[in-house]
Amino acid sequence: MECYPEQMCALAVDGELPPNEAQRLRDHLATCERCRKLVDALRVENRMLSESLRELSEEAISGLSFAPQHRSWGWSDLAIVAAVLVLGWIVVPWIDGLSIPSALEWLNPYSTDNLTNMVFNVSYYFAHGGIAMLADYATAVGGFFLLLGGALLLGRRWRSHVGLCLLTVLLSLSLPSFALERRHSEFVTVPANETVDDTLLAVGNTVRVEGVVNGDLLAFGRIVEVRGSVKGDLVSFAKRTVVSGTVEGRIYDFSQSLDLDGELGHSLYGWVQSLRVNDRAQVGEGIVAGAGDVSLEGNVKRSATIFAGNTDISGAVGRDLTMTGGSLTLTDTARIGGDLSARVRHLKDVHIADGATVAGKRDIQVRVRKNPFMRPRYYFHQAVWLAGAMLVGWLGLLLFPGFFQATTQLVGSGWRSLGLGLGVLAGVPVAMVVAVITLVGIPVSLMLLVTYLAAIYLAKVWVGAFLGRIILRPTGTTTGDWLLSLLVGLLILTILGFIPYLGGLIRLVVICLGLGAFVWELYRASRPVMTV
Amino acid sequence: MAKGSQPGEAETLRIETPDLESVIERARGHDTEALAEIYRRYVRRVFGLCRCMLDSRESAEDATSEVFLKLQRSIGTYDGSIPFPRWLLRVAGNQCIDVLRRRQRGRKVIVEIEDEAVVIEPASSEPSPVGAVINTEERVKVRDTIARLPENYRVPLVLRYYSELSYDEIAQQLHLHRNYVAALIYRAKQELRRRLAHRSK
């Protein structure tokens, strides 16, 4: 009988020949030594292949300790981090104790004044150079993103993640368009004889309103001036904002300087470098402001809450004045209708002229900034903070178990999470500005903002849980184990947060890690499901 | 069984190696403890498969996590008709093929060339089977060579000799004709022999 070709023999060795064929081959092997040898060789070869491949699974993993919480950070990395922290603990107070020459003060990143200044300058340069260009391209870019988003949503089969579905539903619900008018050019102006009935979104180098805006005014520009009247709220992001007309609603301001000369119906909320409420100005309700310098010469009907480097009051505050910051000056003309409470660093920075009137109590405290550990309230706050984070973690695990566990795991990918997180942390605000400019993007931008803030809060939960898992190395993956890890991790993060200055850096790293893991998991979760 | 064992109880009373069937049964009831047990037992084999199928360690790790993440839901489709490890490796193989396919934007990983479907080449001119290799160095060499084989050779070869799937199962996974799979595996081995012979020179 003729010998079998090698492929037949290979099939036989792989057990893929039909039974009758296999039987015939076996009969042949009994008589033919050449074929028998071939079959034996093939068998040996198969075994060799299996063994060689199998060995990979042993060898490849042993190097990594591929536990459920696989991570690319080893103990050595942790040791280095710990060493750096200890060093920081020793060095930073020493640096803090050194006096910095005032000429170099602007270099000190820890000074709020200069930080604010820097933030404004940077954002101004970005806005000035960027906005004109962005405004031109924004429509195209926004359209592109919308198309892309739509294609992603339709084209891919989303996992049955409740969270993602919920997000999509919310997103689509938030889409009904606003009654909104949008203008952008170098010089956006509403002339004195014009009335805009809708909300006005104005983007330009200079935004000037001399007429009437019946809705809200959202203004982005270098200079925003309201000389006419805005019936709704004014939201302003500018280098300089001047309100000499009337705003009947509220003012939300993020500017380098804000001058209020006219009349404001409700409250003023601001984060500005320099805030001036001039003597002709009227504020219908209160002021809540964080600022470098505050000069209050006008009339505030209700309370003022101010966090500022320097506060000068020569006008009237109808109710309480609460101030935290560097220095406080009340001139002879100042009148406070309620209590005055101030938290300052040195008592000598508070000047209250004899002519100033304070109807209620005067409560001036020197901030004991050095040692918050002495106050029981501090521990209470920490406990509340911890309990809140635990609760959020528990709820998250209950609602989105897979997502939370996976995100916790992904924190372990170390540098990838960190880099991605840093990019997202910096990139999302830019994306939001772009989205806002594209008009249709406003709801998307708001959704993005909510998700962004939520993720920043949750970052410590994921990082905490991950940290706890490294330390406890629980064998199981039950909710209880996860929560226990979370508790331990959060405690550690809290303690690390106490380190002066470095604590802040650690928080930043935690946020980046968590955010990175979140975004990565979001990306992974949105990939199509395979069919089993 | 599924209802009788509470997670806490299972933790304390667990015998050294609970039998696979009960673990699977519990895992089907979404018992995280049981899923973790399955993970512990099979992560190495799944990872090994992914490592052979995919080119980078990172994508292999990703694919491995993906398989176990999806297991919570997909274990419901396991009907016990084939041994569990085999089923799991099949799922993992699918995952890897999915990854490869996604990279090529949805195209088939291996495209069947029609007129080549069944070609039985004469064996005489081909290098003879590779003999047994005992030492680790040589095995590393074999693995390296397999890793460098083109995808259409590597994938069926790994599915056959790592996952130990039958030709029919491989054909089903790759959406190919059975005879074509046989030809691919045969040719993959020929190519492997040729490359190994070349390397050792």
Distance of CA A371 to the CA centre of its chain: 29
Candidates B49, B94, B121; nearest CB to A530: B94
Instruction: Name the minimum distance, in Å, from the CA of A152 to any CA of chain B.
Output: 14
Pair A448, A435: CB distance under 8 Å:
yes
Give the pLDDT score at A98.
52
Chain B residue numbers with beta carbons less than 8 Å from the beta carbon of A71 are none
- Mutation test of the interface with chain B: which of A53, A407, A415, choosing the one with the most B Cβ atoms within 10 A? A53
Is residue A99 in a domain? Answer: no
Nearest residue to B74 (alpha-carbon basis) of A69, A152, A476, A402? A402
Nearest residue to A431 (alpha-carbon basis) of A419, A444, A421? A444
* Same structural domain, A224 and A334: yes
Which tokens in the block code for residue A93?
């107070």
Distance separating alpha carbons of residues A205 and A212, to the nearest angstrom: 20
Backbone angles phi, psi at A6, to 5 degrees: -65, -35
* Same structural domain, A330 and A411: no
A531 pLDDT tier (thresholds 50, 70, 90)? very low
**Domains, chain B, with CATH or none:** 7-103 (1.10.1740.10), 114-200 (1.10.10.10)
Which tokens in the block code for residue A80?
């280095």
Distance separating alpha carbons of residues A372 and B112, to the nearest angstrom: 72
Chain A residue numbers with beta carbons less than 8 Å from the beta carbon of B123 are 5-7
If one counts every other C-beta atom within 10 angstroms of the C-beta of residue A175, the result is 12
- Mutation test of the interface with chain B: which of A11, A45, A46, choosing the one with the most B Cβ atoms within 10 A? A45
- Nearest C-alpha in B relative to A409: B65
Is residue A87 in a domain? Answer: no
Q: Has residue A386 got a pLDDT over 70?
A: yes
Chain A residue numbers with beta carbons less than 8 Å from the beta carbon of B43 are 61, 66
Answer whether A52 sits within 8 Å of B95, measured CB to CB.
Answer: no
Residue A288 CA neighbour count, 13 Å, CB half: 6
Answer whether A10 sits within 8 Å of B186, measured CB to CB.
Answer: yes
- CA A356 vs CA A310, A316, A332, B20, B135: distances in Å: 18, 10, 5, 83, 94
More confident residue, B89 or A4: B89
Answer whether A52 sits within 8 Å of B39, measured CB to CB.
Answer: no
Chain B residue numbers with beta carbons less than 8 Å from the beta carbon of A42 are 129
Distance separating alpha carbons of residues A421 and A428, to the nearest angstrom: 10
Chain A residue numbers with beta carbons less than 8 Å from the beta carbon of B130 are 45, 48
Chain B residue numbers with beta carbons less than 8 Å from the beta carbon of A58 are 44, 48
Q: Is B76 helix (H, G, I), strand (E, B) or coil?
A: helix
Backbone angles phi, psi at A93, to 5 degrees: -60, -35
* Same structural domain, A322 and A410: no
Q: Has residue A510 got a pLDDT over 80?
A: yes
Q: Which residues pair with A364 in a beta bridge?
A: A342
Answer whether B32 sits within 8 Å of A44, measured CB to CB.
Answer: no
Give the pLDDT score at A295.
93
Pair A294, A312: CB distance under 8 Å:
yes
Distance separating alpha carbons of residues A446 and A421, to the nearest angstrom: 20
DSSP B196: H
* Same structural domain, A300 and A211: yes
Domains of chain A: total: 3
pLDDT (tens digit, 9 = 90+) per residue, A453-487?
Answer: 888 888 888 888 888 888 887 666 567 777 888 88
* Same structural domain, A503 and A392: yes
Backbone angles phi, psi at A73, to 5 degrees: -105, 125
A366 pLDDT tier (thresholds 50, 70, 90)? confident
Give the pLDDT score at B164.
85
Give the pLDDT score at B112.
59
DSSP string, A203-247: EEEEEEE-SEESS-EEEEEEEEEE-SEESS-EEEEEEEEEE-SEE
Which tokens in the block code for residue B62?
């990703």
B113 pLDDT tier (thresholds 50, 70, 90)? low
Backbone angles phi, psi at B181, to 5 degrees: -60, -45
Give the pLDDT score at A145.
57
Nearest residue to A514 (alpha-carbon basis) of A389, A355, A347? A389
Instruction: Name the minimum distance, in Å, from the CA of B88 to any CA of chain A.
Output: 10
Inter-axis angle of helices A441-472 and A502-525, nearest 10: 110
Chain B residue numbers with beta carbons less than 8 Å from the beta carbon of A521 are none
A246 pLDDT tier (thresholds 50, 70, 90)? very high
The three-point CA angle A387-A393-A399 to 5° equals 135
* Same structural domain, A364 and A379: no
Q: Has residue A255 got a pLDDT over 60?
A: yes
pLDDT (tens digit, 9 = 90+) per residue, A46-101?
Answer: 888 888 887 765 555 543 434 443 344 456 666 766 777 777 666 655 555 555 44
Instruction: Name the minimum distance, in Å, from the CA of A57 to any CA of chain B.
Output: 4
Query: Which residue, A323, A347, A370, sits at the end of a domain?
Result: A370
* Same structural domain, A423 and A435: yes
Give the pLDDT score at A161.
47
Lowest mean pLDDT among A89-98, B56-65, B71-80, B126-135: A89-98
- CA A202 vs CA A206, A222, A231, A246: distances in Å: 9, 11, 16, 17
If one counts every other C-beta atom within 10 angstroms of the C-beta of residue A379, the result is 12
Is residue A98 in a domain? Answer: no
Pair B182, B165: CB distance under 8 Å:
no
Across A497-518, average pLDDT: 84
Q: Is A510 helix (H, G, I), strand (E, B) or coil?
A: helix
Region of B95 (left: φ > 0; alpha: ψ -120 to 50; beta: rest) is alpha
Give the pLDDT score at A242.
93
Chain B residue numbers with beta carbons less than 8 Å from the beta carbon of A417 are none
Range of the domain at A57: 6-62
Q: Is A133 helix (H, G, I), strand (E, B) or coil?
A: helix
Q: Has residue B29 got a pLDDT over 90?
A: no
- Nearest C-alpha in A relative to B136: A52
Across A498-505, average pLDDT: 78
Which tokens in the block code for residue A64?
């990594």
- Nearest C-alpha in B relative to A527: B102
More confident residue, B8 or A299: A299
Distance separating alpha carbons of residues B78 and B61, to the nearest angstrom: 23
DSSP string, A78-101: HHHHHHHHHHHHHHHHHHHHSPPP
Give the pLDDT score at A65.
37
Answer whether A409 sits within 8 Å of B65, measured CB to CB.
Answer: yes
Number of helices (H), then strands (E), belonging to chain B: the values are 9, 0
Query: Which residue, A348, A370, A392, sits at the end of a domain?
Result: A370
Answer whether A6 sits within 8 Å of B136, measured CB to CB.
Answer: no
* Same structural domain, A378 and A344: no
Answer whether B132 sits within 8 Å of A48, measured CB to CB.
Answer: yes
Q: Is A116 helix (H, G, I), strand (E, B) or coil?
A: helix
Residue carrying structure tokens 């090698």: A6
Is residue A77 in a domain? Answer: no
Across A255-272, average pLDDT: 90
Give the pLDDT score at A248.
92
Distance separating alpha carbons of residues A200 and A118, to the nearest angstrom: 29
- What sign has the CA pseudo-torsion A151, A152, A157, A163? negative
Answer whether B39 sits within 8 Å of A409, measured CB to CB.
Answer: no
A413 pLDDT tier (thresholds 50, 70, 90)? confident
* Same structural domain, A274 and A359: yes
A121 pLDDT tier (thresholds 50, 70, 90)? low
- Nearest C-alpha in A relative to B98: A530
Q: Has residue A335 got a pLDDT over 60?
A: yes
More confident residue, A526 or A105: A526
Across A222-251, average pLDDT: 90
* Same structural domain, A378 and A364: no
Answer whether B131 sits within 8 Å of A46, measured CB to CB.
Answer: no
More confident residue, B74 or A245: A245
Compute the mean pLDDT over every residue in chain B, rounded to the nearest whole number: 77
Distance separating alpha carbons of residues B50 and B92, to the nearest angstrom: 7
Candidates B72, B139, B182; nearest CB to A51: B139
Nearest residue to A117 (alpha-carbon basis) of A252, A309, A323? A309
Answer whether B94 sits within 8 Å of A531, measured CB to CB.
Answer: yes
Answer whether B74 sits within 8 Å of A532, measured CB to CB.
Answer: yes
Query: Which residue, A347, A370, A393, sits at the end of a domain?
Result: A370
Distance separating alpha carbons of residues A399 and A409, to the nearest angstrom: 17
Answer whether B162 sits within 8 Å of A54, measured CB to CB.
Answer: yes
More confident residue, A95 or A314: A314
Distance separating alpha carbons of residues A438 and A144, to the nearest angstrom: 11
Region of B106 (left: φ > 0; alpha: ψ -120 to 50; beta: rest) is left
* Same structural domain, A401 and A366: no
More confident residue, A105 or A472: A472
Pair A132, A186: CB distance under 8 Å:
yes
- Nearest C-alpha in B relative to A159: B70
Give the pLDDT score at A113.
52
Instruction: Name the minimum distance, in Å, from the CA of B66 to any CA of chain A.
Output: 9
Give the pLDDT score at A438.
66
pLDDT (tens digit, 9 = 90+) per residue, A207-230?
Answer: 999 999 988 888 888 889 999 999
Is residue A120 in a domain? Answer: no
B109 pLDDT tier (thresholds 50, 70, 90)? low
* Same structural domain, A259 and A309: yes
Give the pLDDT score at B127.
65
Cβ contacts of A405 within 8 Å, gap of 6 or more: A397, A477, A482
Answer whether A48 sits within 8 Å of B48, measured CB to CB.
Answer: no
Is residue A129 in a domain? Answer: no
- pTM recorded for the entire structure: 0.39
Which tokens in the block code for residue B22?
């009960």
Across A176-205, average pLDDT: 78
Candidates A45, A61, A527; nearest CB to B44: A61
Lowest mean pLDDT among A31-40, A119-128, A380-389, B145-154: A119-128
What number is the ipTM of this complex?
0.77
Candidates A38, A44, A406; nearest CB to B69: A406
- Mutation test of the interface with chain A: which of B96, B161, B166, choosing the one with the most A Cβ atoms within 10 A? B161
- Nearest C-alpha in A relative to B31: A478
Answer whether B143 sits within 8 Å of A529, measured CB to CB.
Answer: no
Give the pLDDT score at A136.
43
Answer whether B35 sits within 8 Å of A524, measured CB to CB.
Answer: no
Backbone angles phi, psi at A257, to 5 degrees: -135, 145
Candidates B48, B136, B160; nearest CB to A57: B48
